[in-house]
Structure 1
């Protein structure tokens, strides 16, 4: 079984839950930018939650299945058609052999997730099928004409009427754990971090979400030796504008990290379009 890619859209990649555990080798985690949406799509398609699916930036994709399959679409809301039939997101969708599946433009958020029963079984690299856009590990981004292999179905899709999942938020309020380099910033800078409103800039991708807003001033001058980075780390370059690292972040960096976004909130950034307001709250309070 396979999915034939008729139209790949702006940027579509194969993603699972990533390849954690290799940071000491300089290999990023990667994986779905909105991991919760991919987990839900896999459950609806009858897969294990770590099966590989498609991460579709802003929609606009057409696929054809070579055999009858079950699909599920989650994440950014969009119009879905199977043949000439309109379908709902967040439900298992029965797709007959040869039918054209159309994923329309996302009306909110950034990333649509599509899971297929059996999962997409491109070759694994270090235990994952994820495309890492920073290091180049994993499969190439999906292109028109690609044929994506599908694994054997191991379970039936669940019998559900609806699977609620929060839509992309119009504004974000993110919990932050200060450190490890919050002592590199003035007390007024830390107060600004938790009082000001920032916005997601157009310079945002799977590597990180750049924010624009009040600059964070340093209390310590000079350079910092490169040190380890984690998902959600808020690095502050010389211009004082925060940069929040996402799925394809590097494993080390030389700018101070003022804090780390709580892991439970990182998925929200995976759906944040440029211009989305962002504010922070101290997770320790």
Structure 2
């Protein structure tokens, strides 16, 4: 059966809107970051409700002010940060499935809680695939971020729909907590007892220096760590600079780094971190492998 292709057109967007899937694995030895959705739980939710494959590409939206249109009927789902969502100018409940028709316009306004909204579409976005992933990354895909006029292909869903009127409730309380579970990193034991205690008892504040590469915390941790050779790093690695800055690496992080790797964030806590905004509070809870 031949499926009709539709186009979702970006009419307006803030910075850092991108297509992401589960990313690129087993390529770090070539210097290629993993990339992929920063909050896998939210992206997984929309693909689950749409009955998509778990690796289906979604739209990751990191700033309010997105407006887009649909050329053909489809089904979408929204999760992640709680936000104001309107379809054709009328506020719509973002939980559950939404059924845009040809020419409909969807707007995502202010975020109430959280930092990233995920928009999934029936069948996933059919954008270019590079190195076994549709995740956008500069130098690998033709686009790094969406801009006005960007068009994203999808498979149209023939109308009329047979909609499900039940609304699956999306709960944001899981990412509103401040605690991140962490494991000791390779260089944890280079810290003094006092330095370790400070890191595990202090409540840190997320700075404005936060993106898909790393989140930097405002509070400094004075330390006497030695300089180290460059070593492998991964999403979730926490590095401590000689100046006391804590760098929490995200999905687009480099694959090597020279700063001491003091902690590694547990996977589900990485998804919580992805929903933190500048000014939000964080604290670390140490787990042993």
**TM-score past 0.5 threshold:** yes
Contact 1:195–1:279 under 8 Å retained in 2: yes
**Please, which moves more after superposition, 157-166 or 15-24?**
157-166
Deviations 1:100-149 (CA, angstroms, capped at 9, x unpaired)? 111112122111111111211111111111112xx532241111111111
SS at match of 1:63: strand
Tell me what 1:282 maps to. 286
Q: How far is 1:160 from its partner? A: 4.5
Aligned partners of 1:170 and 1:39: how far apart in 2? 18
Deviations 1:164-188 (CA, angstroms, capped at 9, x unpaired)? 3324745521111012011221111
Q: Structure 1: any 5+ residue segments left out of the alignment?
A: none
SS at match of 1:150: strand
Tell me what 1:138 maps to. 141
Structure 1 length as normaliser, TM-score?
0.92
Aligned partners of 2:278 and 2:89: how far apart in 1? 33
Contact 1:16–1:130 under 8 Å retained in 2: yes
1:37-48 equivalences under 5 Å are 37-48=42-53
Contact 1:192–1:214 under 8 Å retained in 2: no
**Please, which moves more after superposition, 46-55 or 259-268?**
46-55
Aligned partners of 1:167 and 1:175: how far apart in 2? 16
1:111 to 116, 124, 141: 116
What RMSD in Å do the two structures reach over aligned CA positions? 2.1
Q: How far is 1:196 from its partner? A: 0.9
Tell me what 1:3 maps to. 8
Aligned partners of 1:142 and 1:238: how far apart in 2? 36
Is structure 2 residue 31 aligned with structure 1 residue 26?
Answer: yes
1:64 to 52, 69, 83: 69
Tell me what 1:256 maps to. 260
SS at match of 1:125: coil
1:182 to 179, 182, 188: 188
Tell me what 2:248 maps to. 244
Deviations 1:218-267 (CA, angstroms, capped at 9, x unpaired)? 3x43x211110011101011111211101111100001101101112101
Q: How far is 1:4 from its partner? A: 1.3
Aligned partners of 2:84 and 2:142: how far apart in 1? 27
Q: Structure 2: any 5+ residue segments left out of the alignment?
A: 1-5
Q: How far is 1:216 from its partner? A: 4.3
Deviations 1:194-236 (CA, angstroms, capped at 9, x unpaired)? 1111111111111111012241413x43x21111001110101
Contact 2:17–2:63 under 8 Å retained in 1: no
